Amino acid sequence: MQDDSKRFVERDRNWHPPAYAPGYKTSVARSPRQALVSMQHATASELTGPDFRGLRMGPHDNDLLLNFRQDPSQGQGLPVGERIIMFGRVVDQFGKPVPHTLVEMWQANAGGRYRHRNDNYLAPLDPNFGGVGRCLTDEAGWYRFRTIKPGPYPWPNDVNSWRPSHIHVSVMGPAISTRLITQMYFEGDPLIPLCPIVNTLKDPEAVETMIGRLDMARSRPMDCLAYRFDLVVRGELQTYFENQ
């Protein structure tokens, strides 16, 4: 297993949000004060990662309209909310598709309530909605989920902070060094520029990378809308010359 012949483009840590972002209050006590120790030469540990093709997934793992297991005696209804397909392509920074990689997502329901033991927001739980999905990208790097659009919700950052509608998205990529967790926001949402978590990013173009775009071509008439969200992971480079 020889991985010394490749490396990944270094992360731009001025593009990503900094650890210490005082507008997002929890980051104040949870951010390191010391500098990161950088590895100029990644080792086999950083250049390898898991392959989840052997993970046996259920038939509706990527369909949040159907995958919440609940008491069958209560009937099998559908979740309330705006039906959407969320889909996109995972590529690296050189535009190369990343096939067979694990994409996972989680979200609140249409009212903005999470099905998590610690969420006590006023909006009720939806008995037909869980809020979790996962899938592998196909041979061409595409992933797709079916879900409902999550609602915005309030949280105790400032006196009156509200998260924009968002879906949490996690991608592995080819190695542990390409691993990324982000959030997808929805095109046109007026809460986006007001959000302290969105505003941890200094570059407005970085915010643009997190916005899902309405895609009428992939919407289904009389059924659901579609939002496209491509994921870009660190670019993979082949090193052709020896370190002499």
Partner 1 sequence: MKQPNSQPASELMLRETASQTAGPYVHIGLALAAAGIPTRDEEIWNEMARPEAEGEHIEIVGTVIDGNGDLVRDAFLEAWQADSKGVYQREYDLAKPFNSFGRTATTFEHGSEWTLRTVKPGRVRVDGIDEEHGAIDDKENDLASARSALLMAPHINLTLFARGINIHLQTRLYFEDEPEANAECPVLSRIESPARRQTLIARREEADGKVRYRFDIRLQGEGETVFFDI
Half-sphere exposure of 10 (CA within 13 A, CB side): 7
d(CA 244, CA 241): 8
Annotated active-site residue 240? The verdict is: no
Q: Does 123 bind partner 1 (CB under 8 A)?
A: no
Annotated active-site residue 168? The verdict is: yes
Q: Which stretch binds partner 1 (CB under 8 A): 77-85, 137-145, 228-236?
A: 228-236
Classified as helix, coil or strand, 90 is: strand
Q: Which stretch binds partner 1 (CB under 8 A): 25-33, 74-82, 139-147?
A: 25-33
Which residue in the set 22, 43, 124, 158 belongs to the binding site for partner 1 (CB under 8 A)? 43
Annotated active-site residue 153? The verdict is: yes
Other Cβ atoms closer than 10 A to 123:
16
Annotated active-site residue 41? The verdict is: no
Phi, psi values for residue 165, rounded to 5°: -55, 130
Q: Which stretch binds partner 1 (CB under 8 A): 74-82, 139-147, 234-242?
A: 234-242
Other Cβ atoms closer than 10 A to 206:
16
Which residue reads 């010391």 in tokens? Answer: 34
Which residue in the set 100, 126, 132, 193 belongs to the binding site for partner 1 (CB under 8 A)? 132
Q: Does 199 bind partner 1 (CB under 8 A)?
A: no
Which residue in the set 22, 45, 78, 158 belongs to the binding site for partner 1 (CB under 8 A)? 45
Q: Does 46 bind partner 1 (CB under 8 A)?
A: yes
Convert 36-72 to b/e letters by CB count within 10 Å (16 or more is b): eeeeeebeeebbebeeeeeeeeeeebbbbbbbbeeee
Q: Which stretch binds partner 1 (CB under 8 A): 5-13, 73-81, 136-144?
A: 5-13
Closest CB 1 distance from partner 1, rounded Å? 5
Which residue in the set 206, 219, 224, 225 belongs to the binding site for partner 1 (CB under 8 A)? 206
Which residue in the set 97, 99, 100, 130 belongs to the binding site for partner 1 (CB under 8 A)? 130
Which residue in the set 14, 69, 73, 221 belongs to the binding site for partner 1 (CB under 8 A)? 69
Q: Does 64 bind partner 1 (CB under 8 A)?
A: no
Convert 185-199 to b/e letters by CB count within 10 Å (16 or more is b): bbeebebbeebbbbe
Closest CB 73 distance from partner 1, rounded Å? 16
Say how many residues touch partner 1, by CB under 8 A.
99
| DSSP output for 174-221 | SSGGG-EEEEEEETT-TTGGG-TTGGG-S-HHHHHTTEEEE-GGG-BT
| DSSP output for 136-182 | E--TTSEEEEEEEPPPPEEESSSTTEEEPSEEEEEE--SSGGG-EEE
Write down the catalytic residue from 115, 168, 213, 218. Answer: 168
Q: Does 225 bind partner 1 (CB under 8 A)?
A: no
Which residues are catalytically annotated?
114, 153, 163, 166, 168
